[in-house]
A and B are shown apart, each in its own frame.
Chain A
């Protein structure tokens, strides 16, 4: 009789232990799932940030190409005036559209032409007309100016805005 009572007690203890282990495992699994969930959310977020940073780097590099650069890390706006809407350059740059816009000092919203330059705000280099996302970054826009017989570089702040072709699921 006593052995049977002892056996039952042991069984109860084992059951108790098993329940405890199951509870601990469930707790750790939940904590793990929570942690993985947060990590995945961060992973997607950082993947998007990386993609955007890559696009920004690419268009910043465009500004350093000889077609745009003044040799000091800025865009030469005198060059832009002659680069605008030239059919020969279509497909030359790996972007769907390219625009350069002055943002500081004051902007008037006028497109630059040989008649109003430099009292204007933006240059439309080219536009392929394909649907696109816009990516932009800051650039310095410089031109040569003369005052009291001296020539100097007059630099303003602008943005280079590129259209990137949208990829759909079928592509």
Chain B
């Protein structure tokens, strides 16, 4: 009789242990689910934050700088008596033209632009603006149109899904730390357009 009671008691104890361990497992699973949900929410917010565009707005000052510098008169004359301005020189550089003094248009453009930027913006590691980049490129988005024959892809140009790109000039200085701001200036050059893009990083 005593033996029977003992075995009955052992059975109950074992069953209770199983029940307890199942309950613990449920709690652990619940806790893990909460943690997973919170991690997913955190990751979603992080991705949303990181995916924000690097340039949040167009900077009016840079836009005015680009617009004004396009009118700047240079020493390059392609056809007498006209002195080329920066905008003309960009087009001349794209077409690989030469000035009358035998200098390449691209060379004059690069000299003028780098001097212009260094006089206009104080860029340096201990200055408010710590870096800049100026990219001038030709863009054509009518691939597939009848009669359109893009140039052979090379180190400087590429055919992408969005169209044909060809880099004309790139200037940059410094390493970007802090906020980035910029602006674009568009020059129409049939059948595409030349885009002058300038970005400046400043320590906020």
Which residues does A use to contact B, with CB under 8 Å? Answer: 24, 45-46, 49, 53, 56-57, 60, 72-74, 103-105, 137-140, 142, 147-148, 150, 152-158
A150 to B204, CA, bound (A): 49
B155 within 8 A of A: no
Is B72 part of the contact surface with A, judged by Cβ < 8 Å? Answer: yes
> Known contacts A104-B119, A147-B81, A152-B83; is A49 also within 8 Å of B72 by CB?
no
Chain B 64-87 interface 0/1 with A at a Cβ cutoff of 8 Å (1 = within)? 110111111100000011110100
Partner of A138, one of B57, B68, B81: B68
A interface, by DSSP: helix, strand, loop or mixed?
strand
Nearest-neighbour CB distance to chain B for A66, whole angstroms, equals: 18
**Contact between chains at B61 and A157 (CB < 8 Å):** no
Contact string, B92-115, partner A, CB cutoff 8 A, digits 1/0? Answer: 000000000000000000000001
Residues on the A chain within 8 Å of B69, using CB: 138, 140, 157
State whether A104 touches B115 (Cβ < 8 A). yes
Q: Given the complex of chains A and B, what is the CA–CA distance between A21 and B193 in angstroms?
A: 59
Interface band, chain B: 20 to 34
**Complex interface: chain B residues within 8 A of A49 (CB):** 57
- Residues in chain B near residue A53, CB distance under 8 A: 57, 59-60
CB atoms of B64 and A137 under 8 A apart: yes
Q: Is the CB of B72 within 8 A of A137?
A: no
Closest approach, in angstroms, between the C-beta of A148 and any C-beta of chain B?
7
Residues of B near A147 (CB, < 8 A) are: 81
Alpha-carbon distance between A150 and B83 when the two chains are bound, in angstroms: 11
17 contacting pairs across A/B (C-beta < 8 A): A24-B34, A45-B204, A56-B61, A72-B71, A74-B68, A103-B119, A137-B61, A137-B64, A138-B67, A140-B67, A140-B69, A147-B81, A150-B81, A152-B83, A153-B73, A157-B68, A157-B116
Bound CA span A150–B68, Å: 24
In the complex, which of the residues B57, B68, B83 contacts A140, with contact meaning CB atoms closer than 8 Å?
B68
